[in-house]
Chains A and B, each alone.
Chain A
Amino acid sequence: MALIETKSLTYSYPGATKPSISDVSIKVEKGEFVLITGPSGCGKTTLCRTFNGLIPQFYQGELKGEITVAGLDAAKHPTYEMARHVGLVFQNPENQLFALSVEKDVAFGLENLGYPRDEMRKRVDWALNLTGISDLRDRSPHEMSGGQQQRVAIAAVLAMQPEIIVLDEPTSFLDPLSAQKIFDVIHELNKNLGLTVILVEHRLDLTAKYANHIIIMDQGKVRFDGETRRILSNEETRLIGVGIPKATLLYEMLNKDGANLGTVTPLSSDELAKMLLEVMKH
């Protein structure tokens, strides 16, 4: 059985005249790295909020269809229980941080679940280290930059070691190199520990190469769903304004003008450069 499965999921916020997501049926298998993208307001964030039950348990409104996460009915199962399975990192870290120090914020979820002190300390150290903020552990999250706060929010979720981590534009405030390092860490956890990752991002230049599965939404509906290379080589994705990686576009432009670079669509500059070198050898 899929780790996450939705069937005809439709949801309207309270008082809204039309649904934010409509008729969404997707499957996410254990160990996948899924990228969800699409224009602003397409329903990406709303969909993510259903994965741990925030919708409909916190937001109310009207939810139709089915959602199963780790074998549980996410719409009904208590959200604090869902939090063991699904860690959610929000777009705006200010909404997530509230403790007086970084360390306490990262430990908060573990304390709530009653972990022994030693285990807590180990996990907090591990998460701070992975996100590169060990030296900030005693600082107040509220005195930090947006980018630093985003790292704290990610560390807090990683410390819980959930099966699934859902990240909603988690690095928008970080500089590109720091963002790339965070994505690399998440990719490592995905590969080595089998962590299932769901990442919401506009910047496919930075992220497409990590994802084996991409879901493109538009106006509340899933428009494309499948293997990343296959979907991004489909020219129809251009019509709904998805930011295709430059390396992918360059590959297409070259092939159109007669360069014979083969049929495997590259998702990163390394992949494209290797293809070019390969062609030149012959």
Chain B
Amino acid sequence: MLTVENIHYAYASGVEALKGVSLTVKDGEFVAVMGQNGAGKTTLVKHFNGLLKPSSGRVLIDDVETTKTSVAALAKTVGFVFQNPDHQLFSETVEEEIAFALKNFGYEPAVIEDRITWAVNLLGLTQYRKTSPFMLSGGERKRVALASVLSWDPKVLVLDEPTIGQDHQQKENLRQFIMQLQTQGKTIVVVTHDVEFVAECNPRVVLMREGKIIADGEGKNILTDPQMLEQSSIVLPQVAQVFTYLNLPGLPKNVIDLYEAKRLLLKMLETSQ
């Protein structure tokens, strides 16, 4: 379990990025942290693996305070995949990249080999094992970064803007991949602006604005509240836009799922004729 208790955080420049944030994420939950640029989303999730320590308040991973343990130990529990894979990758080949952290964690060579094989297979990178990450496309580099984090099997996975620069098919693959990890009991935290992606995944949504959490709950309720979203510089998902525009009695507004939308609209058309 991940517990954030009233944390504040100020950067060296004096900018206060978090102004009293509290949050609990249970094991196996899938949470999307959303909000405008500069709302404090990335600052918040960097506290989950101890990359940042709060100026005040506490962050606990499985009841252990992040200030009382090393970043290395935390990294084993909480895997972090950065927005820009180039901030993460540095090895000469994909397999060396994946092996690096595993070696640091002290795994046996045979285990390391197994884990590499498992991770490259999972992310469709097998043919690139001996390739330099820098020869790969942006989308592929993102998958290498993800593979290297997954290889040590962290309990919690934090993905910062995983859909940026990904095409439609890659996003669909990512969505299915997240669903698969969920069935394995992983806790997944995604920082994202991508409202259509969130509408398709339907996770719990935590909405931030100016260093605070302003809403926390079911995606279909938060992503269909125009005033709330406007404050966070987010646009309604397209399905919800249709229902908001229609604004008809007897028709709910909190709809983000295409199939639910189809059912409701067909029923409405039938009864109107």
Contact = CB atoms under 8 A, between A and B. Distances in A.
Contact of A145 (B38, B241, B259): B38
Interface residues of A, number: 45
Interface in B183-202: 193, 195-196
A280 B233 contact: no
B238 A254 contact: no
Nearest to B199: A246
Interface stretch (B44-52, B114-122, B145-153, B260-268): B260-268
Interface of A: 38-41, 91, 145-148, 169, 172-178, 180, 202-203, 205-206, 241-243, 245-247, 249-250, 253-254, 257-259, 268-270, 272-274, 276-277, 279-280
B272 to A, nearest CB: 4
A40 B139 contact: yes
Nearest to A260: B269
Contacts of A173: 37, 164
Interface residues of B, number: 40
17 contacts: A40-B139, A41-B139, A174-B193, A177-B233, A178-B36, A178-B37, A178-B233, A241-B168, A242-B168, A254-B266, A258-B266, A259-B265, A259-B266, A268-B238, A270-B245, A273-B246, A277-B246
B50 to A, nearest CB: 24
Given A241-B168, A253-B259, A276-B265, 16 more contacts: A40-B139, A145-B38, A147-B37, A173-B37, A174-B193, A175-B35, A175-B234, A176-B195, A178-B36, A178-B233, A253-B258, A254-B262, A259-B265, A259-B266, A259-B269, A273-B242
Contacts of B38: 145
B70 interface: no
Contact of A177 (B165, B235, B237, B241): B235
Interface string B156-173: 000000001111111110
